Chains A and B, each alone.
Chain A
Amino acid sequence: MEASIDLARPARPATARVAVWLLLGVVFVLFVLCLLAYAMRMRLGDWRALPLPWQLNVSTAMLILSSASLQWASVAARRGGRCARGALFAAFVFAAAFLAAQAWAWQALVAQGRLASANPSNGFFFLLTGLHALHVLGGIVALLLAGRRGERLGLCALYWHGLLAVWLLLYATMAWLTPAIVDFICGVA
């Protein structure tokens, strides 16, 4: 009965799930707006496509592995399985590896002299990867605080999958979107 809940009632898991979905919605809107700006900016004359560093493939693989490990950890923890700990550890390692690979990609670009100011496509690369990495970093902090409770790990896994989806969207846009496609979509080809 809702009417007789006691004072120490913790937030229901469903409640936290609503909040995480809402947060993912906000994160998604944030990145979609970035990509809209990306699309609008790329139609201006001085845009030169950025050859994406190959390290992004490594980082993508790491993020997928991290997401899968965390999903495994959350399912295992809910079932009381013993592999939860190992999977959780793997999720941390892969997430850290993702960030390291992103940093490696940054370093490769800087070494080539492709700084943020060289061209707006470079600027967007640093902006998008940087903002995304900050969100992953925030997720890692949340995961550190979550402990090994299945429900909390499930929430973290949901956030992880959301960030993976955002990353794939960012990667795909940076790899394949061209001014010609934007012109076609806007009907000004």
Chain B
Amino acid sequence: MHDSHDAPHGFWTRYVFSQDHKVIAIQYTVTALAVGLVGLVLSNLMRLQLGFPGHFDFIDANRYYQSLTQHGMIMVVYLLTAILLGGFGNYLIPLMIGARDMVFPFLNMLSYWVYLVAVLVLLASFVVPGGPTGAGWTLYPPQSILPGTPGADWGIILMLVSLLIFIVAATMGGLNYVTTVLQARAEGMTLFRLPLTVWGIFMATILALFAFPALFVSGVMLLFDKVLGTSFFMPAIVSMGQPLAYEGGSPLLFQHLFWFFGHPEVYIVALPAFGIVSDLISTHARKNIFGYRMMVWAIVAIGVLSVVVWAHHMFVSGMNPAFGFFFAVTTLIIAVPTAIKVYNWLLTLWRGDIHLTVPMLFALGFISMFAIGGLTGLFLGNVSVDIPLSDTYFVVAHFHMVMGVAPILVIFGGIYHWFPKVSGRMMNDTLGRWHFWLTFVGAYAIFFPMHYLGFLGMPRRYYAYENYAFIPESAHTLNAFITVAALVVAAAQLLFLFNLAWSARRGRLASANPWGATTLEWQTPDTPPGHGNWGAQVPVVHRWAYEFSPPGQARDFVPQNAPPDAPVE
């Protein structure tokens, strides 16, 4: 617990081995975006094959499966989880609760470096013999560790080791975030005055702390099966004509452990996004969030319910119908608090003073994407609907919209929103608008038609679709269209990266609070905030985070730390 807050002077302690939460947040964000770029390129490789099969020799079946696996794993774990908790969580928690830093700055620094090691181990799997694993992001045994699956020798081992390291990093960070929220809030910052961003990240972190152990256990046990020849998950099996020494294990046991992590993981990604988007909408609509307490309880309820829905990922595994009934019911129940949140966002917008800024555009795009992607979740939550659709593109469309594109739209919105605080400069508005419209419309062009492909019965995970009589020619045309859209969306991200790099140096100088936001991070004495965040005195909080457009005030917002008897400006 080294907690000395002398501002560091040397280059290394200031920018590299920094214990300042703001620097660590930027490190997390940049690393996650970089690895996310790899994930994006991999998705384009897959799309090239699907849209124009046979035209690109360098995408053979093995490479396709490797791209599929690594795209999924990178996006879910190494990009979304890392950027939302390690990036946004790190930057915003201390600033929003009025703390000088995380309570354990050294542990915080360690968390980033361990995360970086996990990323490097993952990327190393691209250069080992056999390449990265192509087992699918769920890594289901027995196929994930048997010959025939690409990367079954080295790739899978590096994948599992990388995940275990990532979990250690996430736990270090998570202990810090939760303890900081519980213990380091400024005077007057009660739990029910926390901005919803903090609530979302807080609850997601608790989920991460208690769900990642399930992945850890399944990962270690799978490593045992692979390296030591145990039969935790491996049944008696004949592989490539050879009977193997495994016997008696249960692949279903792996699926239970994996999804006991895997479903909370969806909310580890979604809850921070819910929180951030609430603050974006309220701030840019100049209106208090509708039903603040309801929003908080919805976040808590979603967090609790998310640990009892996991087997809806396993409806096709041949489970007891009573078991399937239970998980279908819990899955549909979790839609209730989720729908409450969507209604509250809409009611916040209702008669608001909506500013269509770039962050607001992304927030609105999120609501649309999330509502539509979420609705198909209601279809799939029913066992009888899920079974025929489970292995089709309908599911690909569903989860990409609801937990892929929707959170990433919030991440973009969040970056455009907080960039002025982080860098002291505004991001370019025109580029931002182009980026939004290309990404938003493009994402619909990619994923909306996939619902139709799913209804056609087009199976997901396939490398090629030749000679399937039930797939009409039009489906192939549609796939070519989707691929073109995917290439355009990927190219549009270059606008974002350019904007980020250009604005950091050349962007218009930002004022301390360009959006007129109420939350504490915008009330720092310096922009970007200095070491220790608050200068001589930490703020004292007098009200909740959503005091927008109060009657009888000249300004249309009151910061959380403005004294109650402040003169009307």
Of the stretches B193-201, B206-214, B388-396, B420-428, the one at the interface is: B206-214
A38 to B213, CA, bound (A): 15
Give the nearest-CB partner of A18 in chain B.
B179
- CB–CB A22/B249 < 8 A: no
> Chain A, 1-35, contact with B by CB distance < 8 Å: what is the 0/1 string?
11111011111101110110011011001100110
Tell whether A22 pairs with B221 under 8 Å between CB atoms, given A33-B257, A40-B253.
no
With A18-B182, A46-B231 in contact, is A8–B4 under 8 Å at CB?
yes
**In the assembled complex, B116 has its CB within 8 A of some CB on chain A:** no
1/0 per residue, CB under 8 A from A, across B522-551: the answer is: 000000000010000110100000000000
Q: List residues of chain B with CB within 8 A of the CB of A9.
A: 3, 5, 100
B17-25, B183-191, B340-348 - interface stretch = B183-191
Residues A40 and B256 in contact, CB atoms below 8 Å apart: yes
Q: Which of A2, A4, A37, A122 contacts B217 (CB 8 A)?
A: A37
In whole angstroms, how far apart are the Cα atoms of A7 and B228 in the complex? 51
Segment 141-195 of B: residues with Cβ below 8 Å from A: 171, 175-176, 178-179, 182-184, 186-187
Contact B213 A26 (CB under 8 A): yes
- Nearest CB in chain A: distance from B106 CB, A: 10
Q: With A26-B171, A40-B253, A44-B249 as known contacts, state yes or no: A116 contacts B229, CB within 8 Å.
A: yes
**B260, CB-defined interface residue at 8 Å:** yes
CB distance from A119 to the nearest CB of B (A): 8
Q: CB-CB < 8 A to B434: which residues of A?
A: none
CA distance A123 to B229 in the complex (A): 9
Instruction: Select from chain B the residue with minimum beta-carbon distance to A38.
Output: B232
User: Given A2-B186, A18-B179, A117-B229, does the pair A46, B247 have CB atoms closer than 8 Å?
Assistant: yes
Asked whether B187 lies within 8 Å of A2 as measured between CB atoms, the reply is yes
B338 within 8 A of A: no
Taking the closest CB of chain B, its distance from the CB of A45, in whole angstroms, is: 6
Q: Kindly list chain A residues whose C-beta atoms are within 8 Å of the C-beta of B214.
A: 33
List residues of chain B with CB within 8 A of the CB of A44.
248-250
Contact (A19, B228) CB under 8 Å given A37-B221, A127-B220: no
The answer to whether the Cβ of B44 comes within 8 Å of any Cβ in the partner chain is no
Does A41 sit at the interface, judged by CB under 8 A? yes
**Contact A22–B175 (Cβ < 8 Å):** yes
B213 touches A37 (CB 8 A): no
Q: Is the CB of A41 within 8 A of B230?
A: no
Is residue A165 within 8 Å, beta carbon to beta carbon, of the partner chain?
no
Asked if A120 is an interface residue, CB under 8 A from chain B, the answer is yes
B238 beta carbon closer than 8 Å to chain A: no
Is A2 in contact with B538, judged by CB distance below 8 angstroms? yes
Does A175 count as interface, using CB distance less than 8 angstroms? no
Whole-angstrom distance from the CB of B146 to the nearest CB of chain A?
16
Do the beta carbons of A19 and B249 come within 8 Å of each other?
no
Which residues of chain A are near B221, meaning CB under 8 Å? 37, 127
CA distance A91 to B186 in the complex (A): 39
B230:A120 contact, CB within 8 angstroms: yes
Cα distance A14–B183 in the bound complex, in angstroms: 8
Which residues of B lie under 8 Å from residue A168 when comparing CB positions? none
| Contact residues of B between 254 and 269, Cβ < 8 Å to A | 256-257, 260
Say yes or no for A83: interface residue by CB 8 A criterion: no
Q: Is the CB of A26 within 8 A of B1?
A: no
- Enumerate B81-130 residues with CB–CB distance to A below 8 Å: 100, 103-104
Distance A127 CA – B231 CA, assembled complex (angstroms): 13
Q: Say how far B212's CB is from chain A's closest CB, in angstroms.
A: 8
Chain B min CB distance to A122 (Å): 8
In this assembly, does B565 line the interface, its C-beta being within 8 Å of a C-beta of chain A? Answer: no
The answer to the question of B569 belonging to the interface, with a C-beta cut-off of 8 Å to chain A, is no
Q: Are A10 and B1 closer than 8 Å at their CB atoms?
A: yes
| B224 → chain A closest CB, angstroms | 6
Chain B residues with CB under 8 Å of A3's CB are 186-187, 537-538, 540
Q: Does B6 contact A (CB under 8 A)?
A: yes
Q: Which residue of B lies closest to A124 (CB)?
A: B232
**What residues on A are CB-neighbors of B538 within 8 Å?**
2-3, 5
Q: Is B245 an interface residue (CB 8 A)?
A: yes
Q: Nearest chain B CB to A163's CB is how many angstroms away?
A: 15
- Is A131 among interface residues, defined by CB-CB distance under 8 A? yes
Q: Are A15's CB and B257's CB within 8 A?
A: no
Chain B residues with Cβ below 8 Å from A45 are 248
**Residues on A with beta carbons closer than 8 Å to the beta carbon of B228:** 115-117, 123, 126
Say how far B524's CB is from chain A's closest CB, in angstroms. Answer: 15
Task: Give Cα A117–Cα B216 distance, bound, in whole angstroms.
Answer: 20
Give bound CA distance, A1 to B105, whole Å: 22
Query: What is the minimal beta-carbon distance from B495 to any residue of chain A, in angstroms?
Result: 40
Which chain A residue shows the least CB distance to B213? A30
A30-77 residues with Cβ-Cβ distance < 8 A to B are: 30, 33-34, 37, 40-41, 44-47
Closest 3 CB pairs of A and B: A46-B248, A123-B230, A117-B229
Q: Which residues of A contact B (CB under 8 A)?
A: 1-5, 7-12, 14-16, 18-19, 22-23, 25-26, 29-30, 33-34, 37, 40-41, 44-47, 115-117, 120, 122-124, 126-127, 131, 152
Can you show 6 pairs from A to B with CB atoms below 8 A apart? A19-B175, A22-B178, A33-B213, A117-B230, A127-B220, A127-B224
8 further A-B pairs in the complex, CB-CB below 8 A; given A33-B214, A123-B224, A126-B224: A3-B540, A19-B175, A19-B176, A26-B210, A41-B250, A116-B228, A122-B230, A131-B220
